[in-house]
């Protein structure tokens, strides 16, 4: 491609809207343009990058025997009502754009495609003989994100590869899950990315096991906890750990103490002179289920630990049937306004005890009359602990379960693991923290959707059974930006060769120099004939502008028909290292072609 004929606009200054390097660089180098919040146009160079990423994804998927297809983005609400996700996706998480057509039919713009694919499966899969199957597509997804951010990192419209597999039994599902795990590792590696697979929460997609592929970068939205031995890595949302040991309580007898102005754990620990680990913290949450039922949740957890709301949400979802609900609409710490709706009297905030009386709640048809009491495992064995006295300005010390408070029956793990905690698999290993960008996520769905939607097959024994399913996603556009986040310098982008929009840029420093222009033109033709993806900078610009642009845009190899031309040589510069050398003009094409081939091979 000749730059002179291309829509090629770079910016000298960073647009104010961009915060992180990858977003700034993609805008400055002219790869993307913002059209609305979380909505971007992919310009010609970006589209080439996205197609390269897609092609790598496609090759790795095909290699596992998966088949590519294309599913509709416009999806009837009926399908989502069958799976039970219409309400959660349009109301609770509010992540699905929904619309009504001229005949008053409700439709959603596909944020994901389990419903569609399951419909197809139930209509077409009859027998175990057709299994296993794995169907995938690469397509634009729509999600009404709460807060779109960082350019392509979290957009409301983005490109995703999603795959869905169907199986006769769990063992077959696990085999495909393993194959996908390997395919995803291959994809990330081939794209030149540093990544880490981690245990993950399944979220609203549901199902049992799931794993995320995190691209390591400081700007990542997720925190990863891992051990140096390589045997454990998990998203903080999901991570389990052994907290630091309990310290001995300085109290041996039960006593009520005046502790004015000790609403926070830090202040309390200072005033009563004890470690936060001997404090039992009591946290109040308010959960709203999909049937309109509000339940107040009282959690007892160790003073030095925080509640992991993802874990809590999972526990509360399990308990939903108890309140005749199916899913959670919202989970909040009730503020003063929220408390007014159900509190019979002022709560002793900051001084709540595990036995906070249920008469604080004004029960009604929509508010459960008792607190849902959950105790985190961190305080089940607490001895002589410190906790609130249900009276502003007072705490109790030397308390024990059984003697002073009833240990709640529901014992759960809802503490948030932190860097520095010990690992469960080997307590000698300490968890370290890193930040990552979630680029891929694979799930073992099990029979959740097939059961809900009646997608059955006949097994070898002639029995009707629900299909086992898995689903597997890759954020294609997110991965492309993540690559920039991971690979850039002060001058611009440094694309991994495998996903660079072009491999070589031929620069003529001054197009009015006929000899240099002719040499550039000849090289451009030769690169093309050799099948090398080449850009030709034949613009009427000064040399400095062309050099700056080539670095900003991040083309891996630069060839300059410049000063050394008189000796029959051209300058070749590697973008990543800025390493420069003069090569005889007749050897350049073959040499660079070989470098590119090596670059691509070494990643496979």
Q: Which of 354, 436, 509, 556 binds RNA (CB under 7 A)?
A: 509
593, with CB counted inside 10 A (0-12, 13-18, 19+), is middle
**Least distance from RNA to the Cβ atom of residue 548, Å:** 4
Number of residues that bind RNA (CB under 7 A): 64
Given a contact cutoff of 8 angstroms between Cβ atoms, the answer to whether 434 and 224 are in contact is yes
* 4 binding RNA? (CB under 7 A): no
Q: Residue 441's beta-bridge partner residues?
A: 212, 473
* 547 binding RNA? (CB under 7 A): yes
Q: In whole angstroms, give the CA distance from residue 276 to residue 51.
A: 53
* 476 binding RNA? (CB under 7 A): no
Choose between 186 and 477: whose C-beta lies nearer to RNA.
Answer: 477
Choose between 246 and 511: whose C-beta lies nearer to RNA.
Answer: 511
* 8 binding RNA? (CB under 7 A): no
Both tokens of residue 440?
Answer: 């891929």
* 95 binding RNA? (CB under 7 A): no
* 12 binding RNA? (CB under 7 A): yes
Q: Cα–Cα–Cα angle for 311, 317, 320, nearest 5°?
A: 150
Residue 209's SS3 state is: coil
**Least distance from RNA to the Cβ atom of residue 78, Å:** 27
**Least distance from RNA to the Cβ atom of residue 310, Å:** 9
* 10 binding RNA? (CB under 7 A): yes
Please state whether beta strands 67-68 and 133-142 pair in parallel, antiparallel, or not at all (unpaired). Answer: parallel
* 592 binding RNA? (CB under 7 A): no
* 518 binding RNA? (CB under 7 A): no
* 377 binding RNA? (CB under 7 A): no
**Euclidean distance between the first and final Cα of the chain, in Å?**
28
Alpha helices, DSSP H, located in 369-446:
none
Q: Which of 245, 335, 381, 604 binds RNA (CB under 7 A)?
A: 335
**Least distance from RNA to the Cβ atom of residue 120, Å:** 33
Q: Which of 11, 258, 344, 410 binds RNA (CB under 7 A)?
A: 11
Q: Which of 80, 150, 158, 184 binds RNA (CB under 7 A)?
A: 150
* 302 binding RNA? (CB under 7 A): no
Q: Which of 231, 545, 584, 597 binds RNA (CB under 7 A)?
A: 545
Please state whether beta strands 294-302 and 372-376 pair in parallel, antiparallel, or not at all (unpaired). Answer: parallel
* 579 binding RNA? (CB under 7 A): no
Both tokens of residue 193?
Answer: 């990315």
459, with CB counted inside 10 A (0-12, 13-18, 19+), is middle
**Least distance from RNA to the Cβ atom of residue 385, Å:** 15
Q: Which of 205, 246, 265, 288 binds RNA (CB under 7 A)?
A: 265
**Least distance from RNA to the Cβ atom of residue 371, Å:** 11
Q: Which of 172, 404, 564, 591 binds RNA (CB under 7 A)?
A: 564
**Least distance from RNA to the Cβ atom of residue 281, Å:** 5
* 350 binding RNA? (CB under 7 A): yes
* 172 binding RNA? (CB under 7 A): no
* 26 binding RNA? (CB under 7 A): no
Burial annotation 227-261 (CB, 10 A radius, 16+ → b, else e)? beeeebbbbbbbbbbebeebeebebeeeeebebee
**Least distance from RNA to the Cβ atom of residue 546, Å:** 8
425, with CB counted inside 10 A (0-12, 13-18, 19+), is exposed
* 120 binding RNA? (CB under 7 A): no
* 36 binding RNA? (CB under 7 A): yes
Q: In whole angstroms, give the CA distance from residue 497 to residue 5.
A: 24
* 428 binding RNA? (CB under 7 A): no
* 307 binding RNA? (CB under 7 A): yes
* 283 binding RNA? (CB under 7 A): yes
Q: Which of 358, 491, 521, 533 binds RNA (CB under 7 A)?
A: 491
Three-class DSSP labels, 318-378:
HCHHHHCCCCEEEEECCCHHHHHCCECCCCCCCCCCCCCCHHHECCECCECCCCEEEEEHH
Residues in 130-149 that interact with RNA by CB under 7 A: 146-149
Q: In whole angstroms, give the CA distance from residue 468 to residue 166.
A: 6
Given a contact cutoff of 8 angstroms between Cβ atoms, the answer to whether 196 and 436 are in contact is yes
Q: Which of 38, 132, 207, 496 binds RNA (CB under 7 A)?
A: 38
The contacts of residue 35 (CB under 8 Å, 6+ apart) are 41
Q: Which one of 70-78, 327-335, 460-468, 525-533 is the stretch in contact with RNA (CB under 7 A)?
A: 327-335
**Least distance from RNA to the Cβ atom of residue 262, Å:** 8
State CA 269 to chain mean position distance. 37
Short-list 154, 147, 146, CA closest to 93: 146
* 15 binding RNA? (CB under 7 A): yes
Given a contact cutoff of 8 angstroms between Cβ atoms, the answer to whether 115 and 449 are in contact is yes
Binding site for RNA (CB under 7 A): 10-17, 19, 28, 34, 36-38, 146-150, 263-265, 281, 283-285, 299, 301, 306-307, 309, 332-335, 339, 349-352, 416, 491, 509-510, 512-513, 542-545, 547-549, 551-552, 560-565, 571, 573, 580
């Amino acid at each position: 491609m000749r730059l002179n004929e291309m829509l090629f606009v770079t910016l000298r200054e960073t647009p104010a809207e961009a915060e992180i390097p990858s977003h700034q660089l993609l805008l400055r180098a002219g790869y993307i343009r913002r059209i609305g919040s979380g909505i971007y146009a992919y310009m010609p160079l970006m589209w080439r990058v996205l197609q390269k990423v897609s092609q790598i994804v496609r090759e790795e998927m095909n290699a596992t025997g998966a088949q590519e297809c294309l599913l509709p983005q416009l999806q009837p609400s009926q399908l989502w009502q069958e799976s039970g996700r219409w309400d959660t996706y349009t109301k609770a998480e509010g992540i699905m754009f929904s619309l009504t057509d001229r005949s008053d039919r409700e439709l959603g713009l596909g944020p994901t495609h389990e419903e569609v694919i399951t419909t197809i499966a139930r209509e077409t899969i009859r027998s175990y003989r057709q299994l296993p199957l794995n169907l995938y597509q690469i397509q634009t997804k729509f999600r009404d994100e709460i807060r779109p951010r960082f350019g392509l990192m979290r957009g409301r419209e983005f490109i995703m590869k999603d795959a869905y597999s169907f199986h006769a039994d769990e063992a077959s599902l696990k085999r495909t899950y393993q194959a996908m795990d390997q395919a995803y590792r291959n994809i990330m590696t081939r794209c030149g990315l540093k990544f880490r697979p981690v245990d993950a929460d399944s979220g609203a997609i549901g199902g049992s096991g799931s794993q995320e592929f995190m691209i390591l970068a400081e700007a990542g939205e997720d925190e990863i906890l891992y051990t140096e031995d390589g045997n454990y890595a998990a998203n903080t949302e999901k991570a389990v750990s052994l907290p630091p040991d309990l310290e001995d309580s300085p109290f041996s007898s039960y006593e009520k103490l005046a502790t004015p102005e000790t609403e926070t754990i830090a202040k309390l620990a200072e005033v009563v002179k004890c470690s936060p680990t001997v404090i039992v913290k009591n946290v109040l949450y308010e959960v709203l289920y999909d049937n309109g039922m509000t339940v107040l949740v009282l959690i007892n957890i160790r003073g030095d630990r925080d509640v992991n709301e993802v874990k809590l949400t999972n526990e509360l979802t399990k308990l939903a049937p108890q309140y005749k609900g199916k899913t959670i609409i919202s989970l909040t710490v009730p503020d003063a306004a929220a408390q007014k709706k159900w509190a019979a009297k002022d709560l002793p905030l900051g001084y709540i005890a595990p036995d906070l009386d249920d008469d604080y709640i004004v029960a009604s048809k929509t508010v459960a009359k008792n607190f849902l009491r959950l105790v985190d495992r961190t305080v089940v064995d607490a001895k002589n602990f410190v906790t609130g006295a249900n009276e502003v300005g007072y705490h109790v010390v030397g308390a024990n379960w059984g003697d002073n408070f009833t240990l709640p029956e529901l014992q759960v793990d809802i503490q948030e693991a932190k860097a520095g905690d010990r690992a469960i698999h080997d307590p000698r290993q300490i968890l370290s923290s890193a930040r990552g960008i979630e680029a891929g996520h694979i799930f073992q769905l099990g029979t959740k959707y097939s059961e809900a939607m009646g997608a059955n097959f006949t097994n070898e024994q002639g029995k009707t059974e629900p299909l086992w399913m898995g689903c597997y996603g890759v954020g294609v556009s997110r991965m492309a930006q993540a690559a920039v986040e991971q690979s850039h310098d002060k001058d611009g982008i440094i694309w991994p060769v495998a996903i660079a929009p072009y491999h070589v840029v031929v620069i003529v420093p001054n197009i009015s120099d006929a000899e240099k222009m002719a040499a550039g033109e000849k090289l451009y033709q030769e690169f093309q004939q050799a099948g090398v993806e080449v850009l030709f900078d034949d613009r009427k610009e000064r040399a400095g502008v062309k050099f700056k642009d080539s670095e900003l845009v991040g083309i891996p190899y630069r060839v300059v028909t410049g000063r050394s031309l008189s000796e029959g040589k051209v300058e070749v510069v590697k973008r990543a290292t800025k390493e420069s050398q003069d090569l005889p003009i007749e050897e350049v094409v073959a040499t660079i072609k070989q470098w590119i081939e090596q670059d691509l091979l070494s990643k496979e």
